[in-house]
């Protein structure tokens, strides 16, 4: 079964000019200024369990701060966040970086024929994408998720509206 392509490329940080344009701008700003918030939001939509945002945002934030403080750059958080990319690829049947490379240049063809080998290769590519292009990877994932999954806080359940009865008069029976 053919896999689908990502809705936007890795380096299309501002997304596209469509109905999600304002969401794409928000994703871009969060990815560059508060990646822990974007990662937590992505995990919340993707996994949609209670406490998902905090359980992903806080450890990411801690790793981000440790990396920035002691190593001068964000090198620890990508180790924590890359499995979300693999989960997303599997959930939405998206092609990975190796498949896209094979489609464009024809290399890696023998590696992609075996399903187990392909998944190992794609997981390694997911890791490399998060390590070397981390903000762009988070933004691409955020754009993809926002186009596919509504925010869990906006549960679109029908609302029952009660309409009061029309004007009534009380009369005396004669």
**Is there a domain that residue 56 lies in?**
yes
Average pLDDT value for residue range 124-137: 90
Question: Of 110-114, 124-128, 137-141, where does mean pLDDT reach its minimum?
Answer: 110-114
Give the range of the structural domain holding residue 38, as residue numbers without chain letter. 21-94+134-148
**Is there a domain that residue 140 lies in?**
yes
Asked if pLDDT for residue 112 goes beyond 70, the answer is no
**Is there a domain that residue 129 lies in?**
no
Q: Give the pTM.
A: 0.76
Asked if pLDDT for residue 108 goes beyond 60, the answer is no
DSSP 123-147: HHHHHHHHHHSHHHHHHHHHHHHHH
Domain count for the chain, please give it: 1
Integer Cα distance of 80 and 61 in angstroms = 10
Q: Which of 35, 32, 29 is nearest to 63 (CA)?
A: 35
Any idea what DSSP says for residue 70? Answer: I
Polymer length of the chain: 174
For residues 42 and 169, the model is more confident at: 42
Average pLDDT value for residue range 113-135: 86
């Amino acid at each position: 079964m053919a896999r689908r392509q990502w809705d936007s490329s890795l380096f299309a940080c501002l997304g596209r000019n469509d109905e999600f344009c304002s969401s794409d701008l928000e994703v871009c700003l969060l990815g560059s200024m508060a990646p822990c918030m974007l990662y937590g939001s992505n995990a919340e939509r993707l996994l949609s369990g209670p406490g998902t945002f905090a359980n992903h945002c806080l450890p990411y934030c801690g790793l981000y701060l440790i990396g920035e403080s002691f190593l001068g750059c964000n090198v620890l958080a990508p180790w924590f966040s890359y499995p979300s990319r693999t989960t997303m690829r599997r959930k939405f049947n998206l092609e990975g970086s190796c498949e896209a490379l094979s489609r464009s240049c024809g290399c890696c063809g023998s590696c992609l024929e075996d399903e187990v080998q392909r998944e190992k290769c794609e997981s390694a590519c997911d890791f490399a994408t998060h390590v070397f292009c981390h903000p762009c990877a988070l933004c691409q994932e955020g754009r993809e998720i926002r186009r596919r999954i509504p925010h869990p806080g906006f549960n679109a359940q029908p609302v029952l509206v009660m309409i009061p009865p029309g004007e009534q008069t009380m009369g005396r029976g004669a």
